Structure 1
Amino acid sequence: MSLHWLGRDGTLLIAARMLRAFAYGFVSFVLAIYLKQRGLSEIAIGAVMTLSILGGTVFTVLTALYADRLGRRRILILFSLLMAASGLLFAFSDRPLFFLIAAFIGAINATGYEIGPFLSIEQAVLAQVGPEGKRNQLFAFYNMAGLLATATGTLVGGLPGWLERAGLSSVASFQPLFLLYTFLGLVSAWMAWRLTGQVEGETAPLSPQRLSPTSRKRVTRLSLLFSLDAFAGGFVLQSLVAYWFYTRFNVSLQTLSTLFFVAGILTSLSFLVAARLADRIGLLETMVSTHLLSHLLLILVPLSPTFEIAVGFYLARMALSQMDVPTRQAYTVALVAPSERTAAASITLLSRSLTQAVAPSVTGVLIQSVSAAAPFFLAAGLKGVYDLLLYFQFRKESVVIDPATRE
């Protein structure tokens, strides 16, 4: 797919997304394991992950309210610098309080998929720099590029295993990764600084009327449903799944990094399939059908008796589970007017982040009090409920709000 029509700003945004996604790839992979090496309990680890998502939530709210007024470029620079600062805190702190602060301020991402305030700005900008008729493909490419970078990042997550073999302590072997995270945050800030003034949005007055009544109703309904999906997804964050594989089968970091690399490749390629499938059968049908099948596969992962069988089910699940991501984003921005896109993207991201932030803390309790498999079953069940609700509430509107048919 040729992207020459994106210009300098679109190219920089996608490049910055890939850079951050690469960093999130190795951090989300090692975070829970690193915190365990630092002596934190499963409940404390869950709390750190909750704060990481909650921080992204708070900054997403600020983005929705002030990004277009203060300048999208300035906000992107600020968040990139906070990302760099959090890497330093994780690398050199040894107290839980500092880990919580670092998680809150710095977009340390435990999910494996970006959920913070960068996304709402970038999605709004991409929607205005790309042609209307190519929006499905553009968002598919945007997400595919991010996931490919995330997958590559997980390979780097195996580095501590090699460094420990070379003689470093279990804690020291992880520190270079967080220093690399700091460096990539600084590069992200430099990329944001190079953006032109054309990325800025309309400076509409700050008021509850940012969304029209029609848009508000649509975005509210979607946000409530998306929040249920995100809450369920919070039980099986990539960092927690990596921790489960690590403790359940006692496999090396190098093996796990390869596993999550392959999972990321499959997920990123699925975005292209999702765009084609959505053009043929519709966005809603694509989101629901692929999601339901992926939940069945998720249930089979903790039931697997061997590592190899569990890996097979997990990879099959990852090839399907994220096909709703580009379709959901294209779906959301197509519902509202161009001047409402930053607010709409921020609100839906916010609804997801708020509920997803709760789940990791609950997961820590479930693992310690019930079983390590309980989060998998709970996630699959809740996600199934979300898919059915989404389909039955929006099946009559799918053709009307399909981005391919919106003028």
Structure 2
Amino acid sequence: MINNHEATGSGAASKLFWNFKIKRPRLMKKSNRDIKLLFLTRIIRLFAYGFMSVILVLLLAETGLKDGKIGLILTLTLAGDVFVSLWVTTVADRIGRRKMLVLGAVLMALSGLVFVVTNNPWLLTIAAILGIISPSGNEIGPFLSIEQAALSHIIPDHKRTSAFGWYNFAGSFATAIGALTSGWLAKLLLLYSFTALESYRYIMLGYAISGVMLIVIFLKLSAEVESQPVTVEIEKPTIKPKMGLHQSKGIVAKLSALFALDAFAGGFVIQSIMAYWFHTKFGVDTGVLGSIFFGANILAGISALLATNIAARIGLINTMVFTHIPSNILLCLVPLMPNLGLAIALLLLRYSISQMDVPTRQSYTMAVVAPDERTAASGITNIARSIGAAASPALSGLLLANPLFFSAPFFLAGGLKIIYDLFLYKMFLNVRPPEENRLKKEVFDCINADEPC
């Protein structure tokens, strides 16, 4: 159990990062160290994603590619992530989680280097498909699924949502710093007579270096992060596992379909596309773009933290839906603003509540499946999100190329996300995670007790 005095959901971020105390047999010093390393890799990785995402579309445009082809490359990038993640997450528990994390970091470093050294659209496309490039500035590749499973194995149920909230806050904060650094670094390099293309390539070099740093840290993880054998007495006939799932196949299939719809909607307005939209519509330079997405990601991280307290009061599903719908309404309103200031203000307001569904979604998925299904469930649902997100950037690129539909990606994203919220609420309102069932029982027992609670 986590020490309540040293790592509470309302404590300081540093206490969660550096003072997590695990009191389980066989999991002590190594587990505490592994948690710190996993938070560190999350920070480095999301910094790199934010660092690169602001200039990715601008870099591709500087190589001479048109909007439609850029959208296609972004789609192929996300499609490649599907295949890489599918293979890595389905063999991670058998081959080794550490080995698969290192492999992902190697692919990340190599893909960044390719973007540094060539303008060839075919080579860039291959690097985007086989490597790990994040057009959205958000998590991509197999890292998240493996890390979620490792953390869920160590952290007790009642602390899981809080831990995921801090985990996402760390990532959002790192993405924000990466976006800010990237935008102003590109502008600084332009002032020193570097061409736009050269400036963007230096940033991609930083992305590749981040991949090398991840390789080093993943190699330092202990064997405790590996999948542990689970011994369970089953009275009824054993269900034959498929893709790592047995009793939770139905619920994972439903969640995967819904998450794919949500990701498909989000793919219309990934961070790279929004940066290009602001640059084209309002003439915003890279420095201001970096500042916009710095603020956006900071607010997103704070919203992820606030979600943990809200979820403790109203439940995970209610938190996911009741915060996500207003966020998507605000997204639809952004392109209707008459000037840059109002558009930025509305975008920031949207981000202030946009990520409340992320730690709750991750925690909910881990909660409603068996412990030995968590890696597979996380991998399958995240792959479903990648599949959903893969097609929409290409469609978004086509819309951006037509002045009449230039702002349509915002309306499509917001509208489809609201449809996702309504289906999620209808299908899963009564499917509660174990900690909510225990809390409900405790409240019921307290109300019906003869003595005061």
Q: Same fold (TM over 0.5)?
A: yes
Partner of residue 61 from structure 1, selected from 64, 69, 86: 86
Q: C-alpha deviations, 1:29-77, integer Å up to 9, x for none? A: 1111111111111111111211221122112211232000110000111
**Contact preservation (8 Å) 1:135, 1:403:** no
Residue 209 of structure 1 deviates from its aligned partner by 6.3
Number of the residue aligned with 1:18:
43
For residues 269-308 of structure 1, what are the structure 2 equivalents within 5 Å?
A: 269-308=302-341
Distance (whole Å) between structure 2 residues aligned to residue 46 and residue 91 of structure 1:
20
- The reply to whether residue 187 of structure 1 matches residue 213 of structure 2 is yes
Residue 111 of structure 1 deviates from its aligned partner by 1.1
Distance (whole Å) between structure 2 residues aligned to residue 237 and residue 406 of structure 1:
38
- The reply to whether residue 386 of structure 1 matches residue 412 of structure 2 is no
Residue 210 of structure 1 deviates from its aligned partner by 2.4
Q: C-alpha deviations, 1:189-216, integer Å up to 9, x for none? A: 1111000111111479x95262123x11
Q: Secondary structure at the match of 1:305?
A: coil
Distance (whole Å) between structure 1 residues aligned to residue 427 and residue 253 of structure 2:
13
Partner of residue 105 from structure 1, selected from 117, 130, 138: 130
**Contact preservation (8 Å) 1:50, 1:358:** yes
Distance (whole Å) between structure 1 residues aligned to residue 352 and residue 137 of structure 2:
15
For residues 67-78 of structure 1, what are the structure 2 equivalents within 5 Å?
A: 67-78=92-103
Q: C-alpha deviations, 1:62-114, integer Å up to 9, x for none? A: 12320001100001111101111111100111111111112122221011210
Give the count of matched residue pairs.
404
- The reply to whether residue 353 of structure 1 matches residue 377 of structure 2 is no
Structure 1 range deviating more: 6-15 or 300-309: 6-15
Q: Pairwise CA RMSD of aligned residues?
A: 1.7
Distance 1:190 1:307, change over 3 A: same
Residue 307 of structure 1 deviates from its aligned partner by 0.2
Instruction: Select the structure of larger CA radius of gyration.
Output: 2
**Contact preservation (8 Å) 1:127, 1:333:** yes
- The reply to whether residue 375 of structure 1 matches residue 409 of structure 2 is yes
For residues 123-272 of structure 1, what are the structure 2 equivalents within 5 Å?
A: 123-158=148-183, 159-202=185-228, 208=242, 210-213=244-247, 215-272=248-305
Residue 402 of structure 1 deviates from its aligned partner by 5.5
Distance (whole Å) between structure 1 residues aligned to residue 73 and residue 351 of structure 2:
25
Q: Secondary structure at the match of 1:320?
A: helix
- The reply to whether residue 333 of structure 1 matches residue 366 of structure 2 is yes
Residue 396 of structure 1 deviates from its aligned partner by 2.2
Q: Secondary structure at the match of 1:210?
A: coil
What TM-score results when the alignment is normalised by the length of structure 1?
Answer: 0.96
Q: C-alpha deviations, 1:303-326, integer Å up to 9, x for none? A: 111000000110001111111000
Distance 1:402 1:36, change over 3 A: farther
**Contact preservation (8 Å) 1:331, 1:402:** no
Distance (whole Å) between structure 2 residues aligned to residue 401 and residue 13 of structure 1:
25
Distance 1:100 1:328, change over 3 A: same
Number of the residue aligned with 2:145:
120
Number of the residue aligned with 2:236:
none
Q: Secondary structure at the match of 1:256?
A: helix
**After the TM superposition, which parts of structure 1 deviate over 6 Å for at least 4 consecutive aligned residues?**
none
Residue 371 of structure 1 deviates from its aligned partner by 1.7
Distance (whole Å) between structure 1 residues aligned to residue 161 and residue 147 of structure 2:
15
Q: C-alpha deviations, 1:334-384, integer Å up to 9, x for none? A: 111111100000010011100100000111111123421011111111111
- The reply to whether residue 401 of structure 1 matches residue 426 of structure 2 is no
Structure 1 unaligned runs (5+)?
Answer: none
Distance (whole Å) between structure 2 residues aligned to residue 203 and residue 177 of structure 1:
43
**Contact preservation (8 Å) 1:68, 1:203:** no
**Contact preservation (8 Å) 1:32, 1:45:** yes
